[in-house]
Amino acid sequence: MSLLILGDSHTIFNFGGVAEAKIYHVAGVTMHRAARDGIQSIVPRNCHPKADDILVLSLGEIDSRAQIPKHARLNGRSTLEEVDGLCDRFKSALVEFMRKCPASVAICCIIPFNPYTLSHQYYDDTEAAVLDAKSIRDRMNERLKGMGVPFIDVRIAFSNPDGTLIPSRSDATLHLDPRISAPMIAELERTFGEPFTHMDPPWPNAFPRAEVTNAEMRRKVRKELERSIKNVWLLLPGAHKVRSALKAFRKKELST
């Protein structure tokens, strides 16, 4: 069995401290996009779920924080009506995805929110924005929990009573601290009945914890090669004179 995690940046920070997790981070992906284009459309080419695997979807934080308040105003609906519309569409996409996906599918909760990252432009004051943010996330998590698949819920270990993220258990922005893995490991073991273990994730930059596609690997190799060639070229006799001449030429071009 492989534990595959697919979704936005919370895949890395929610599961980065779980040694068995293979993390497939799709930058900036929203629940709206997965619902509109189909969940299969966000599965990277290097992610190949098999029959014995567990595939955990981690989506919705971006929607809850930024997209739901925005589109509720644009559509003339309450934020909870907007949540229900999104979750209805996502459930349809989930059912369609599960028809063809050989792995067992699960959903991760949307974690507590950092009040300092909320957009206040749709609210009268900070208190209204915070109250609505909690209401939105509570409803989204309630709907996700009821989609007929296992629901991975670690909110109680990272949340203040008002629904905000405990700063000391976060990365100081939008995410959990992946080094605090015990709550996630316990929840995974409770849900799937399998043992999981802790690993020390890269820190403070946890992003290298994610798997990379072949295209990303080639891009990294190419950049390293270009950097090496540039460094060698700069060591050649007269290179600094050529560089100065190019800078002067560009400056002249821009001024004309």
pLDDT digits (tens, 9 = 90+) for 206-243: 999 999 865 554 555 455 556 656 665 556 666 666 66
> d(Cα 227, Cα 157) in Å, to the nearest integer?
44
pLDDT mean across residues, the chain: 90
Contact between residue 91 and residue 147 where contact means Cβ atoms under 8 Å apart? yes
Residue 77's pLDDT band, with cuts at 50, 70 and 90, is: very high
Mean per-residue pLDDT, 114-126: 92
- For 190, half-sphere exposure in the C-beta direction (CA atoms, 13 angstrom radius) is 11
**The pTM of the whole model exceeds 0.85:** no
Region of 145 (left: φ > 0; alpha: ψ -120 to 50; beta: rest) is alpha
> d(Cα 94, Cα 59) in Å, to the nearest integer?
12
Query: In the chain, what are the domain boundaries?
Result: 3-209, 217-255
Note the CATH number of domain 3-209. Answer: 3.40.50.1110
Single out the residue of 12, 6, 8, 5 nearest to residue 202, CA to CA: 12
